[in-house]
Structure formats: structure tokens, C-alpha cells
Chains A and B, each alone.
Chain A
Amino acid sequence: MNQEELKARLLSLLVRVAPEVEPDEIDPALNFRDQVDIDSMDFLNFITAIHKQLGVNVPEVDYPQLSSLNGCLRYLEPRLGD
């Protein structure tokens, strides 16, 4: 999966968690929570979806690294199988 594909997958997971999200309006550098009304339940659902769909089990201590789209890409890319 290349970076663009991963980005698209992540945005689709985010939209499933928070249906009002407009993927085009997400600034990849900014914290999700500053752009979208997501709470800790939504975030846990997002992390669960990443685990189920992408096979990456993100420990709780690493959550802060996944607080923006760019952060997710940086964190997940090296951890994806191939």
C-alpha cells in the first residue's frame, strides 16, 4: 500500500467513525480533534478499525502519535506488512 492509498483508507475509517467528516477538508498536519468533533469513544473506534482493517495494534501509549493524519501516516507506514 502506498502513502496515497493508506491516506485514503485512513480517511474512510475516520468517516465511518464520524460520518460528518469531509475528507477533503481535513488538514493532514492538524490534530483531528481540532477539526472534527470526535471524542475518546470515536478515537477508540478509529484505533480499533486500524487494528482490524490494517492489522496494526496501536498501544495506548502511542495514541498521541496518531492525533493527526500525518502522524498516522508516519506511525503506520513502517508498521504495515508490505
Chain B
Amino acid sequence: MPSLGSDMEKGTLVEWNVAPGEHVSRGQIIAAVETDKGIIDIEVFEDGVVEELLVPIGSEALVGDVLARIVTDNASAEGVPAPAPPRKTPEPAPPIPPTDQPAVAESSDTSSVRLRITPVAQRRARELGIPLDGVIGTGGGGAITLEDIEKLAAAPPATKAPPPPVTGVDAAAMRRAIGAAMSRSKREIPHYYLGSTICMHNAMRWLADYNAIREPAERLLYAALLIKAVALALRESPELNGFWRNDSYQPGAGIHVGMAVALRGGGLVAPAIHDTDQRALPQLMADFRDLVGRARHGGLKGSEMSDATITLTSLGEQGVESILPVITPPQVAIVGFGRVVERPWVVDDALAIRPVVQASLAADHRTTDGHAGARFLNTVDHLLQNPESL
């Protein structure tokens, strides 16, 4: 059971997408786990063949418990995702399906009695409270697809169950988890706070021109520019991009900006956009859009929940102009942006009206001092003055 956030102690296995004997590839989603932050998809980190599933559906497991054994392609058995205790050399693997076949659970004898439904459709059905008894889908082999669920949802309300809670998140549990993480942060992390007002004239103009010639699906939100500027600035401030663990600072292995996403019905999650600094703006926007969608509708991956090296929070939508954010441990910094507002602004020797945004940084004094933080905010400012280079 991977740790999907510093505050997580255990999770409930709610779905296995693979069966023993199946071949899996690195990055494949093999299971879903219910946590205080909703249902998270668990990826596998090796290529190999599933030997044994150790945790049955519906059972709780502690962080660090072995969920399944996988015989990796280079032939050493490993626990997933936490390394399993030492064990025998794997005997010649049990019936292995030809590897060029799609790895679906068709060989499993449970599939004949199991409802044929895609995981995303199942999740959506759960959210919408749609009963699936007797439903035949339009997917392969009568599998129920997301589209089928949406159609059922659009059907007359008489067939709908009463409105369900959103995304299956237990609101009270999520509040407890947020409370635990933030209490730890305030108790242990000596925060310092810096703020800077950044002129967004160039950025907003560039964005308007960019979006004017593009269809809605290709357009950018200004948040994408902020995310990219933060990620690029972190290249020059690696001391803000990482973790405080065991009384020392460990720089992150990449720049993975965690995006604070408010959930409908309360609570928030901050999943990471991996290698944020290396993504071109259109890709970054697509990833951001996808991430927010999955944060709100289900389907976040374990690696997204655990890999963020810094958090970005933008509360401008709610109208606030400045934020003094709280660091998510074990991270050492969090960046906040308020609303973009038009304000009087000195340009050369005259006053002009300019869109401006207040950027703030809360950082861990054990790792850096205000000097480093100030340099970082300055870099963000400079980058935003040249949006075409983002």
C-alpha cells in the first residue's frame, strides 16, 4: 500500500484490475484504493506478471503492506508497490498469457459473473447513484462504458436514485486528514511568508492573442502561465523544491507541482503534474485540465498523490487578492496566487491601469531564508513579463 500523502495511514482496496497470471507494464493501473481523499488508482512500477493478489477487495491495508506479488520481467519477485520481504526464487511462472495479448481480465473466471463495466464508468455510476442491474452496455462484450452511464444519467429522473455524495469522498474523513496534515505543518514547520505584486499586463495580452485564434478546446487559462512560471523558477531555486525528512532537506527528483484543487462539496486535494517544467504550455494546460477533472470525478493516480515537490494554490476564483498559505508536509514551500485585478500601476513616470496579481510564498525556515524565497518570487515575476518564453 503506497503512501498517498503524508497523512495517510491506511487504505481500502476497492478494485483489482488484474488477475494472477496477467502480464502488467510499468505505469499500468492495477488497482483502486479508497482513502480519505477519495478513490485513487494504483499504478505498477515494474513490467512483470502478477503472481498473487494478497489483499482482497473490501479489505483495509496499512501503508507499507504488500498488496500483490509480481514476478518482474527480469525475473525477481517483488511486492507492489512496497518491496516485499525476501522470498524464494520464483519457480517457472504459472500459466502466462502470451504477452502480445491485451492484458484484460478475460482469462479470469470471475469475469463471467462480474458486471462488465469499465472502471471509470463504474466510478461514475457510483457517483451518480445509477443502479446497474440488468444494464447491457454498448462496449465490447456488452461492457458498460462511461457514455452509457452518461446516457442513463440523462434519462428521466424517475430511474435515478436520490442524489449521491460527490466522488465517494467521506467529507468528515477528508476534514480529519486535512486537519492532521495542517496541524503537523503548523506545529513542526517554522513558516516564513513573502508576497509580491506582479504586473500581468504582458501575460494577459499574450494570452488573449493566443486564445483569440484557437478553438475552446485549445485555449489556455492564465493559471497555466502561473504554473509554468513557478515550475521554471524552481529550476533556479532547487532548495524550495523537495522535502524535509529525517531532519534534513532532500531535493525533489523532478519538478512536480502539486495543484490544490477544491472539490465540489468541500475538501481539497493537491495532485502533482509530473515534470511540470518540461511541459510546453498546450500540454501543460491539457494535463491541468485532465487533472482537475479527475480530482473532481475520480481517477487520480497514486503517483500523482505522492509525488508533489511543492504546492501551488490559486484562490483568485473566489475573489481573494492575497493568500498566506500553509505548507503541506513533508514539502518545504507553497506558492499562492490571488485574483488578477486591475489596479493603478506606475509605468515609466505615469500612472496606468494594469492587471496585477499578488503572488505569495510560504517556505520552511529550516531549509531556506527569506533571501532565497525573495529571489524565487522575483524570478517568477521576470518569467511572467515574457510570457512567450514560457
Contacts and interface: CB of A to CB of B under 8 A. Distances in A.
A47 B216 CA distance: 6
Given A20-B264, A39-B317, A52-B217, A60 B292 contact: no
B265 A20 contact: yes
B212 A51 contact: no
Contact of A40 (B166, B223, B265): B223
Interface in B206-265: 208, 211-212, 215-217, 219, 221, 223, 262, 264-265
Nearest to B297: A19
Contacts of B106: none
Using C-beta atoms within 8 Å of the partner chain, give the interface range for chain B: 20 to 34
A41 B154 contact: no
A60 B221 contact: no
A59 B212 contact: yes
Interface of B: 127-128, 150, 154, 163, 166, 208, 211-212, 215-217, 219, 221, 223, 262, 264-265, 288-289, 292-293, 297, 317
Contacts of B219: 44, 60
Q: Is the interface of B mostly helix, strand, loop or mixed?
A: helix
Interface residues of A, number: 21
Contacts of A44: 216, 219, 221, 289
A39 B319 CA distance: 11
A45 B221 CA distance: 11
26 contacts: A12-B154, A18-B264, A19-B127, A19-B128, A20-B163, A20-B166, A37-B264, A39-B262, A39-B317, A40-B223, A41-B221, A41-B288, A41-B292, A44-B216, A44-B219, A45-B289, A45-B293, A48-B216, A51-B216, A51-B217, A57-B215, A57-B216, A58-B216, A59-B212, A60-B219, A61-B212
A16 B127 CA distance: 13
Interface in A30-82: 37, 39-41, 44-45, 47-48, 50-52, 57-61
Please indicate which of the listed interface residues A19, A48, A57 has the most CB atoms of chain B within 10 Å of its own CB: A19
B264 A51 contact: no
A63 to B, nearest CB: 10
Please indicate which of the listed interface residues B150, B211, B216, B317 has the most CB atoms of chain A within 10 Å of its own CB: B216
A58 B150 CA distance: 25
A39 B313 CA distance: 14
Contacts of A40: 221, 223, 317
A66 to B, nearest CB: 11
Contacts of B166: 19-20
